[in-house]
A and B are shown apart, each in its own frame.
Chain A
Amino acid sequence: MNFDLDDEQRDLAAAARDFLSDVASPGAARTALDDGADVAPGRAALAKSGFATITVPEEAGGGGGSVLDLAVVAEQAGRVLAGPSLVTYARAAVLLAGDARLAALADGSLAVAVVDGSAPVLDAVGADTFLARRGDDVLVGGGTVTRREPIDPTRGLGDVALGDDLTVVAGDAALRWQHAERVGRVVLAAEGLGTASRALEIGVEYAQQRQAFGRAIGSYQAVKHALVDVYVQVEQLRSLVWWAAWAADQAPEELPLAAAAAKAAAATALEQAAETLIQVHGGIGFTWEHDAHLFWRRAKVDRLLLGDDVAAYDEVARLAMAGAR
């Protein structure tokens, strides 16, 4: 059994971390929140780096890598609250597979977002091209974005009214759309893993330093155990993310369960990590000036994306019962 990243994937993670920590940060997320600044690193820098389009085949100008490779990068993106989401690129790569526009995704000239019915659209802000589903067709075309009051501006949510110039990309939407959504859930969970694990680190650092009643607050079991519970959830989420990404690449029959489980676990773990981060910080934790709420904002929005956590847990239960009957 070798359920672990290999050396190449570790190197990839390190490279992605170097790149992303230079171009994105909670500070940049704060500027987006305060001043309506563009999300960082933004589409151009992400496309140029090649990290966002790892799963696009090489002949279309992408990295020709696996979903697991992308998940490894997405974890690093989550740590620094980067935007746009790698979920958008992962879904677009599946939906545009075999289409000439895939090359435009890879070279950064296509600013895309994926529309799921009437749900808020991830990375709608700044997008000019929209992928949507109608019956058995995957459609592509323009649309109008209505920006709304954001909770987490790094997610670029907006309402999208599709234009009437939509063209058909593929006629196998039933399967393709579902597969894209599942790959998207894996990548969303990987970003959540990074965000939750960074929130845990910040909480642990503070608990080691902050003194109360003559000793570090991290020595009190009430604080220590709360952080440990987050640690356990984060490590368990890591296992599910790796399994789901591996399934996307190697075992398609396991992907429905694995993707739903990863999505659900990410929603729960990230919320707990963000709320523990605030609680451990006490009074400073719920100020505007502290970064804790930027992680909390990510948690409160991410749990609703690609079907909410309730839907994902329900799906897991249905699949489990069907498999066990």
Chain B
Amino acid sequence: MDFDDTPDEAAWRSEVRSFIEEHRDRLGRRSNGREPDQAVARERQALLYDGGLVGITWPVEAGGRGGTPMQQAIVDQELARAEVPGLINLIGIGMCGPTVIHHGSDDQRARYLRRLLRAEDVWCQLFSEPASGSDLAALRTRAVRTEDGSWRVSGQKVWTTLAHVADYGILLTRTDPDVAKHRGLTMFVVDMKAPGVTVRPLRQMSGGADFNEVFFDDVVIPDEERLGEVGDGWRVALTTLMSERLSLGGGGTDIGAGPDAVAAHVAAHLDGLDEGRQSLVRQELGRAYVASLANRYTGYRLLSKISKGEMPGPEASAGKLSGTKVARDLADLAVRVLGDEAAYGATADGAHGWQDLQAGLPGMAIAGGTNEVLRNIIGERVLGLPAEPRADKGITFAESLKGSLA
């Protein structure tokens, strides 16, 4: 047992580190809150791609490096350590791109993938709808084939990260309502600038606006932009979701501010509290800190598997579940130790980083798989507990709609 890099990993880490040092100024630094300038963010990703640090695990013929998940994890660690802002096309790289790689035509792969890796095009994922969140297969956006073979799409997507800046999206639609809900779906690549696509930013409870509503009004999509077979959209979407789980998968990185930043902040405020309260605050900090250590070292177990070439299984879902919880506990504590000032959105000196973080974290327990869905995955696929019966099993999507309206 050890926590050291293998010789290959160490060599790769030092290569990554020297690239970051060499381009330190152009890479910029993470700033709290405000959305970075889109053009700057695209330039940053192009710089990293040209340096060989984007698309590590993608195949070489797709413009990637053909490397290992461990090499990707090392890049992630080093970029985080150097406080380089996250890649603008994270969703494209983690989810949309792999879907095009697996299910796209040669022509689509040639047109899209390299531009995606360099952030010449930004991508979004158009899955969730107002009436289908966790129950994704119940989506209603319709795609109807026209006489010339192209498709006309109408409907609404929601909670779509980056849609307001995206050039393309992968779009899951219903092409046949008269079969079971999972069977009537078809996936497309959609041009976000096409006529009939309307994007409306959604303001979140934290005040930020990374999410959007996207409306499709008779948007025409050529058949060449279909990903996979007609009616095979659910299987195609599973490729996307598997990739999502891997790209969000723990690895021991902290969600939110990190336990040491909170411990330092609490330490700075502790003397201002009376003694009884100090010991209560230490209990809360101790509990959250232990939970965050536990999360970190569990992530290291996952990384060790990856380092040996094994793929993480459904147990990796636990990392997001517990990481989100501890991030919320830490942020709540950080705000609480502000005393009376905790009742305001900013302290008297104008600082509001902890308050913003606190308001941003409830969404983390929902986006990318709710706590409840993650618990079902672990319960059924790790512990072997039976699934819940489904009321829409064995009937067509159209029939299930009648049931839900009744």
Q: Say yes or no: A236-B295 contact (C-beta < 8 A), given A6-B1, A68-B1, A207-B385.
A: yes
Could you tell me the distance between the alpha carbons of A221 and B377 in the complex, rounded to whole angstroms? 11
Binary interface encoding of chain A residues 1-30 relative to chain B, with 1 for a CB under 8 A from any of its CBs, else 0: 111111000000000000000000000000
Q: Say yes or no: A231-B5 contact (C-beta < 8 A), given A3-B301, A320-B259.
A: no
Q: Say yes or no: A323-B375 contact (C-beta < 8 A), given A1-B3, A316-B289.
A: no
Could you tell me the distance between the alpha carbons of A219 and B389 in the complex, rounded to whole angstroms? 8
- Count of B residues near A, CB < 8 Å? 54
- Residues of A with C-beta under 8 A to B304: 1-4
Contact: A3 with B318, CB < 8 Å?
Answer: no
- Count of A residues near B, CB < 8 Å? 54
Name the prevailing secondary structure of the B interface residues: helix
Q: Say yes or no: A314-B286 contact (C-beta < 8 A), given A208-B384, A228-B383, A321-B267.
A: yes
- Residues of B with C-beta under 8 A to A243: 293, 297
- Residues of B with C-beta under 8 A to A231: 318, 378, 382-383
Could you tell me the distance between the alpha carbons of A216 and B290 in the complex, rounded to whole angstroms? 35
Within 8 A of B (CB), among A200-239: 204, 207-208, 215-216, 218-221, 223-225, 227-229, 231-232, 235-239
Within 8 A of A (CB), among B288-343: 289-291, 293-295, 297-298, 300-301, 303-305, 307-308, 315, 318, 321-322
B21: Cβ under 8 A from any A Cβ: no
Could you tell me the distance between the alpha carbons of A20 and B167 in the complex, rounded to whole angstroms? 63
A87: Cβ under 8 A from any B Cβ: no
A317: Cβ under 8 A from any B Cβ: yes
Q: Say yes or no: A320-B285 contact (C-beta < 8 A), given A1-B5, A2-B2.
A: yes
- Residues of A with C-beta under 8 A to B1: 2-6, 68, 242, 246
Instruction: Pick the contact of A317: B282, B305, B380, B383 (CB < 8 A).
Output: B282
Within 8 A of A (CB), among B366-386: 372, 375-376, 378-380, 382-386
Instruction: Pick the contact of A224: B2, B300, B303, B376 (CB < 8 A).
Output: B376
A261: Cβ under 8 A from any B Cβ: yes
Could you tell me the distance between the alpha carbons of A116 and B375 in the complex, rounded to whole angstroms? 42
B288 to chain A, nearest CB (A): 9
- Residues of A with C-beta under 8 A to B267: 321-322, 324-325
- Residues of B with C-beta under 8 A to A223: 385
Could you tell me the distance between the alpha carbons of A317 and B264 in the complex, rounded to whole angstroms? 11
B241: Cβ under 8 A from any A Cβ: no
B229: Cβ under 8 A from any A Cβ: no
Could you tell me the distance between the alpha carbons of A321 and B270 in the complex, rounded to whole angstroms? 10
Could you tell me the distance between the alpha carbons of A318 and B290 in the complex, rounded to whole angstroms? 12
B279: Cβ under 8 A from any A Cβ: yes
Q: Chain B: which residue is nearest A265 at the CB level?
A: B290
Could you tell me the distance between the alpha carbons of A261 and B386 in the complex, rounded to whole angstroms? 34
Instruction: Pick the contact of A208: B281, B282, B291, B386 (CB < 8 A).
Output: B386
B246 to chain A, nearest CB (A): 17
Q: Chain B: which residue is nearest A5 at the CB level?
A: B1
Binary interface encoding of chain A residues 283-325 relative to chain B, with 1 for a CB under 8 A from any of its CBs, else 0: 0000000000000000000000000001011111110111111
Could you tell me the distance between the alpha carbons of A268 and B283 in the complex, rounded to whole angstroms? 13
Could you tell me the distance between the alpha carbons of A265 and B287 in the complex, rounded to whole angstroms? 8
Could you tell me the distance between the alpha carbons of A257 and B285 in the complex, rounded to whole angstroms? 13
Most buried by A among B1, B289, B298: B1
Instruction: Pick the contact of B285: A1, A219, A317, A322 (CB < 8 A).
Output: A317
B75: Cβ under 8 A from any A Cβ: no
A104 to chain B, nearest CB (A): 32
A264: Cβ under 8 A from any B Cβ: yes
B37: Cβ under 8 A from any A Cβ: no
Q: Chain A: which residue is nearest B9 at the CB level?
A: A1
A240: Cβ under 8 A from any B Cβ: yes
Instruction: Pick the contact of B388: A207, A220, A317 (CB < 8 A).
Output: A220
Could you tell me the distance between the alpha carbons of A228 and B317 in the complex, rounded to whole angstroms? 11
B12 to chain A, nearest CB (A): 13
B83: Cβ under 8 A from any A Cβ: no
Q: Chain A: which residue is nearest B267 at the CB level?
A: A321
- Residues of A with C-beta under 8 A to B301: 3-4, 239, 242
Contact: B383 with A324, CB < 8 Å?
Answer: no
Contact: A323 with B260, CB < 8 Å?
Answer: yes
Q: Say yes or no: A313-B286 contact (C-beta < 8 A), given A1-B5, A239-B298, A243-B297.
A: yes
Within 8 A of B (CB), among A139-172: none
Could you tell me the distance between the alpha carbons of A240 and B300 in the complex, rounded to whole angstroms? 11
Within 8 A of B (CB), among A79-121: none
A-B contact pairs, 29 of them (CB 8 A): A3-B3, A4-B305, A208-B384, A208-B385, A225-B372, A227-B383, A228-B378, A231-B383, A235-B315, A236-B291, A236-B298, A239-B297, A240-B294, A242-B1, A242-B297, A242-B301, A261-B289, A265-B291, A310-B283, A314-B279, A316-B289, A317-B263, A317-B285, A321-B264, A322-B267, A324-B263, A324-B264, A324-B267, A325-B264
Chain A contact residues, CB within 8 Å of chain B: 1-6, 68, 204, 207-208, 215-216, 218-221, 223-225, 227-229, 231-232, 235-240, 242-243, 246, 250, 257-258, 261, 264-265, 268, 310, 312-318, 320-325
- Give the 8 A-B CB pairs with smallest separation, nearest first: A313-B286, A236-B294, A239-B297, A218-B385, A321-B267, A317-B282, A317-B286, A324-B264
